[in-house]
Structure 1
Amino acid sequence: MEFWPEFILIASVHLVAVASPGPDFAIVLRYAVRYGRHVALAASMGIGMAIFLHVCYSLLGLGLLIKTTPWLFTLFSLLSASYLAYIGWQAIGSGVPVNSTSESVAEPFCETPSMLKAFSSGFVTNGLNPKATLFFLSLFAVIISPQTPVSYKVIYGCYMAFATAAWFAFLSVILTRDNIRTFLLAKGYWFDRLMGVVLLALAMHLIYGAIQSQLH
């Protein structure tokens, strides 16, 4: 078996998947605008680490179990929807900043979460994302050959975790550049509320999908 062709294919598919807007992007954007670079970077690291969770259950065959057990997948989807709805509702309730001067960039207008809390939010958001579950299930069932050694699969997983964290870290840096964040922060509560609506919409989509899967 050739290692590099399969790795390049996986890297390409993963790049498209990780760059697609979703809950992970919404969380990083919200944290970058509202709390600053360090908090957004902590959330990015949490998102990257959650990739190992997906890789582990895929290697153990649990991803297939979740997919082929309707009630388990429904429960998984509802848990994800509940969490997204919770943080979405918090975002919608964002208040108007006291001022929009450059000082507000250095001094956020609300209590900044700890690095651990930001990391946990990123980890849970990605870890409970059913789309990520389906992505890794498809990846390990279709793209990665059954003959691929486990050691290679671990390498693939490490790469995807690193690449995911690096992508969102890059976004964290870009979104928190002074000129960009000053603009975003001036209208930050609107971006916050917009991300809240997006997260609530994603939650409703998951609930709808879970209901449809039960009906069929």
Structure 2
Amino acid sequence: MNEFTILATLATIHFIALMSPGPDFALVVQSTAKHGRKAGLAIATGLSAGILIHSTLSLTGVSYLVHNNPALYSAVQFLGGSYLLYLGLSSLKALLQTSTLDHTETVPDTQRPLSSANKPLTPFFRKGLMTNLLNPKALIFFVSLLSSIVPATMSLVGKVSAMALLWGLSIFWFSLLAYALSTKRVASKVEQAGPFIDGICALLFTAVGVSILWHLLPF
């Protein structure tokens, strides 16, 4: 295949993977529904930065070395599984606290959470970055995708184009998702479904985290 065909194939497979439900997708939906468009866009930027790092490490062979080193790969799995489990349990805790507050008559102003407009965006960016970067399934995906499609003889321009393409599609899709969920027509419905979305996302993060950690058990 010529480099244009390689890039087109890479873009198609990656975009299909982006649209499939998973921790990245769930995080954008949850954050946008709960904290608004700016938070969702910050999450999208963080996720895309993680994808850029994954693609860079895969194309330079670093991820391949990690994947084929049992000790290093187990460490990545442990960190990733633990972080996703932490996200899931934190989301469940927040959901329970919100449910408890909803059943109280009044909440003092000093105890009310900051509006999304006043919240710093750096934590959301960091959350998106770490969610993607520490996901061992993302590491496997990029190692498998890039090693099977991108030949070692591909030019430097071609490899840089591949990294830019993966990043560009990621920031486009996740930002589009955050924007669509925060439009006036959709935002009110998303807000009403907030507790349901939080619950589903929390269960997804918890399930993926437990699944990853479970496979590390020595039996």
TM-score range, shorter chain: 0.7 to 0.9
> What residue is the counterpart of 1:194 in the other structure?
200
RMSD of equivalent CA atoms:
1.9
- Map of 2:164 onto structure 1: 158
In structure 2, the residue matched to 1:40 is: 40
Partner of 2:215: 209
Could you tell me whether the CA contact under 8 Å between 2:27 and 2:128 is conserved in 1?
Answer: yes
Deviation of 1:179 after TM superposition, in Å, equals: 3.0
Question: 1:117-150: CA deviations, max 9, x gaps?
Answer: 1111111111111111111111221111121112
Paired letter, 1:45:
T
Distance 2:176 2:216 in 1: 33
CA distance in structure 1 between the partners assigned to 2:113 and 2:35 by the alignment = 8
Deviations 1:8-38 (A, max 9, x none): 1111111111111111011111101100001
Instruction: Describe the SS at the equivalent of 2:21.
Output: coil
**Match in the other structure for 1:56:** 56
Correspondent of 2:127 among 116, 121, 138: 121
| SS of equivalent to 1:210 | coil
Once residues 59 and 2 of structure 2 are traced to their aligned partners in structure 1, the CA distance between those partners, rounded to angstroms, is 20
Task: Evaluate the alpha carbon distance shift between residue 143 and residue 210 of structure 1 in structure 2; reply closer, same or farther with a 3 A threshold.
Answer: farther
Deviation at 1:168? Answer: 0.6
Q: Secondary structure at the match of 1:114?
A: coil
For the Cα contact (< 8 Å) 2:55–2:166, is it kept in 1? no
**3-state DSSP class of the match of 1:145?**
coil
User: Where does residue 105 of structure 1 map in the other structure?
Assistant: none
Partner of 2:140: 134
- On the 8 A contact 1:30/1:192 being kept in 2, the answer is yes
Q: Give yes or no for contact 1:88–1:197 (8 Å, CA) kept in 2.
A: yes
1: CA distance, partners of 2:128 / 2:69: 26
Question: Where does the alignment leave 5 or more consecutive residues of structure 2 unmatched?
Answer: 104-111
- 150 and 38 in structure 1: CA distance in 2 versus 1, 3 angstrom threshold: same
TM norm structure 1: 0.87
Identify the residue that residue 103 of structure 1 maps to in structure 2. Answer: none
Q: Which residue number in structure 2 is paired with residue 106 of structure 1?
A: none
Q: Give runs of aligned pairs for residues 30-109 of structure 1, distance below 5 A.
A: 30-93=30-93, 94=95, 95-96=98-99
For residues 64 and 187 of structure 1, what CA distance do their matches in structure 2 show? 41
Identity %: 26
In 2, the alpha carbon distance for the partners of 1:87 and 1:16 equals 25
- What TM-score do the two structures reach when normalised by structure 2? 0.86
1:139-183 per-residue CA deviation (whole Å, 9 max, x = no partner) reads 221111121112211111111111101101011011112232212
**Separation (CA, whole Å) in 1 of partners of 2:156 and 2:143:** 15
Q: Give the alignment partner of residue 173 of structure 2, picking from 167, 171, 191.
A: 167
CA contact (8 A) 1:92 1:194 kept: no
Q: How many angstroms does 1:77 deviate by?
A: 0.9
